[in-house]
Amino acid sequence: MTVRVPAKVNLQLSVGPLRDDGYHDLVNVFHAVSLTDEVTAVPSERLHISVEAAPRSRVDVAGVPTGRGNLAARAALLVAARLGVEPQAALRIRKAIPVAGGMAGGSADAAAALVACARLWDDREDPLLGRAELLELAAELGSDVPFALVGGTAVGLGRGERLTPALTRGTFHWVFALAEGGLSTPAVYDECDRLRAARGERPRSPKVSEELMTALATGDAKGLGGALTNDLQPAALLLKPALRRTLAAGRDLGALGALVSGSGPTCAFLAESDEHAADLEAGLDAAGVAAALVRAHGPVSGATII
Ligand code: C5P
């Protein structure tokens, strides 16, 4: 059972106040792009996880845990517990999504593992774990996991797990600049809180950007480029100052929009067309401001059995 699952870029990431449970209320507009991981589940006596870089991808998988610290392993255990079966599967994860890159790669793998294990262990015509149940398990695993199941473009409220599809038209073309090393999501949120406190800012409840929704609905890439926002970006730039040069290089090369993806350090650049994306990629490569570059388009579907 092999499941393909996309990375995400956040088109709007508005961070509200810190809640009592340690999370922040968000307006998180997710957009799934054609940079994907694959998770294969095969029957095995016990749960086993292996992680490798996908062919032709230069993702560094050295830091990915292969034990129960892997979110995909936790997904498998959760599915087994719900179905009342032993977690008898070997999960092989082939990664093209950068690790700790702000593109929800770990969440994507967990979503893929949910789908793969649910199918592997329950072949009833009317499965016990349908779409609604899988979405619930996904939200238990992490704030970004439900979106990896759903894909497309969606507005996430609450922790980001309460999803509503966004109306979009056409395809958007992206270049992603991968950085050397990752950033820890909790560390970036902490830095964001610290920065705000130092500036005496009191964050208000975030609102969905009308400008962004209009650009998406009309397929207006220029409008979308101008409407991209990420409240975590100042914190990510403080933790990895080299990203300033990366963003500036993309803007100088004519990107319609340039921002840090999620908690970073991957930077996302919006292009006018696939051709423009290829030029942008070549320019960024020549500028030497990224460890690796990837071209992708969105929106694409969520976790899919292949
Ligand atoms: O939900 P998930 O485990 O992916 O979140 C990782 C971390 O990101 C949380 O522990 C928290 O520090 C931060 N986070 C947050 N507010 C959110 C989502 C994530 O503070 N809405």
The model's confidence at residue 249, banded by pLDDT at 50, 70 and 90, is very high
In the chain, what are the domain boundaries? 2-166, 172-298
> pLDDT tens, 260-301?
999 999 999 999 999 999 999 999 999 999 999 999 999 999
> pLDDT tens, 31-50?
999 999 999 999 999 999 99
Ligand 1 binding pocket (C-beta < 6 A) is 23-24, 26, 142-144, 159-160, 185-186, 189
Which token pair is 232?
Answer: 């975590």
- Burial of 289 (C-beta count, 10 Å sphere; 0-12/13-18/19+): buried
- For residues 232 and 240, give the distance between their C-alpha atoms in angstroms, rounded to a whole number: 12
What does CATH list as the number for 2-166?
Answer: 3.30.230.10
Q: How far is the CA of 159 from the centre of ligand 1 (A)?
A: 7
Q: How far is the CA of 23 from the centre of ligand 1 (A)?
A: 6
Q: Which residue, by CA, sits nearest to atom 7 of ligand 1?
A: 186
The per-residue pLDDT for 39 is 98
Average pLDDT over residues 86-101: 96
Indicate which atom in ligand 1 lies nearest the CA of residue 26: 21
Q: Which residue, by CA, sits nearest to atom 12 of ligand 1?
A: 186
Q: Which residue, by CA, sits nearest to atom 13 of ligand 1?
A: 186
The per-residue pLDDT for 188 is 98
The per-residue pLDDT for 268 is 98
Does the pLDDT at position 58 exceed 90? no
In SS3 terms, the chain reads as CEEEEEEEEEEEEEEEEECCCCCEEEEEEEEEEEEEEEEEEEECCCCEEEEEECCCCCCCCCCCCCCCCCHHHHHHHHHHHHHCCCCCEEEEEEECCCCCCCCCHHHHHHHHHHHHHHHHHCCCCCCCCCHHHHHHHHHHHCCCHHHHHHECEEEEECCCCEEEECCCCCCEEEEEEECCCCCCHHHHHHHHHHHHHHCCCCCCCCCCCHHHHHHHHHCCHHHHHHHCEECCHHHHHHHCCCHHHHHHHHHHCCCCEEEECCCCCCEEEEECCHHHHHHHHHHHHHHCCCCEEEEEEECCECCEEC
172-298 belongs to CATH 3.30.70.890: yes
Give, for ligand 1, the residue of 10, 19, 23, 25 to mutate: max count of ligand atoms closer than 8 Å to Cβ.
Answer: 23
The model's confidence at residue 78, banded by pLDDT at 50, 70 and 90, is very high
Share of the chain above pLDDT 70, in %: 100
> pLDDT tens, 3-13?
999 999 999 99
Indicate which atom in ligand 1 lies nearest the CA of residue 22: 20
* Encoded amino acid at 215, one letter: A
The model's confidence at residue 90, banded by pLDDT at 50, 70 and 90, is very high
The per-residue pLDDT for 296 is 98
Indicate which atom in ligand 1 lies nearest the CA of residue 18: 20
The per-residue pLDDT for 123 is 83
Average pLDDT over residues 8-29: 96
Give, for ligand 1, the residue of 137, 143, 147, 188 to mutate: max count of ligand atoms closer than 8 Å to Cβ.
Answer: 143
Q: How far is the CA of 105 from the centre of ligand 1 (A)?
A: 14
Average pLDDT over residues 128-145: 96
The most distant pair of C-alpha atoms in the chain lies apart, rounded to whole Å, by 57
Q: How far is the CA of 264 from the centre of ligand 1 (A)?
A: 14
> pLDDT tens, 147-173?
999 999 999 999 999 999 999 999 999
pTM: 0.96
Cα separations (Å) of 36 from 98, 187, 217, 261?
10, 25, 24, 16
The model's confidence at residue 63, banded by pLDDT at 50, 70 and 90, is confident
The per-residue pLDDT for 125 is 85
**Looking at the annotation, which residues are catalytic?**
8, 144
Closest to 159 in 3D by CA, of 27, 54, 300: 27
Q: Are 14 and 26 in contact, with CB atoms under 8 Å apart? A: yes
Cα separations (Å) of 6 from 13, 251, 296?
18, 26, 10
